[in-house]
Amino acid sequence: QVQLVESGGGLVQAGGSLRLSCAASGRTLNSYAMGWFRQAPGKEREFVAAISWSGGSKRYADSVKGRFAISRDNAKNTVYLQMNGLKPDDTAVYYCAVDSSRYGLGPRDISEYDYWGQGTQVTVSS
């Protein structure tokens, strides 16, 4: 069983930055792709970014491309989401997730992910 714990959320003004962390326990994740998703009030959970098992492939939603950066530190069993140039539309609960199929490239499809964290709130004020 995998446990994921997100941290780093908070309240920030538009144009500001936050760095989210997702620490995993229960399994070494260096063979698995990981992703970040978000869910705003009244909306469905949506893809934000994903990173392959090796870190060599990264994917982003068009809405965050050029502003967000996903990375991973396999030695720390942790994945990060650096968020710059934040906008009020980025306000949401952010979740990290694991694709437990080995050596994945980081799918965009939410159904490909098997384990989820509890989420961390990001609020961007205008």
Rounded CA gap, 1 and 49, in Å? Answer: 23
17 contacts: CB under 8 Å, gap ≥ 6: 82, 83, 84, 85, 86
Contact between residue 107 and residue 79 where contact means Cβ atoms under 8 Å apart: no
Q: What is the mean pLDDT of the chain?
A: 95
SS3 at position 112: helix
Residue 5 has which token pair?
């714990």
Rounded CA gap, 44 and 38, in Å? Answer: 8
Tell me the one-letter amino acid at 89: D
Pairing verdict, β 10-13 and 120-125: parallel
* H helices, E strands: number in the chain: 0, 11
pLDDT digits (tens, 9 = 90+) for 29-66: 889 999 999 999 999 999 999 999 999 999 999 999 99
pLDDT digits (tens, 9 = 90+) for 99-118: 988 888 889 999 999 999 99
For the beta carbon of residue 6, count every other beta carbon within 10 angstroms: 22
Q: Give the residue from 22, 44, 45 showing the smallest Cα distance to 33.
A: 22
What pLDDT is recorded for position 27? 85
What pLDDT is recorded for position 124? 98
Average pLDDT over residues 77-86: 97
SS3 at position 110: helix
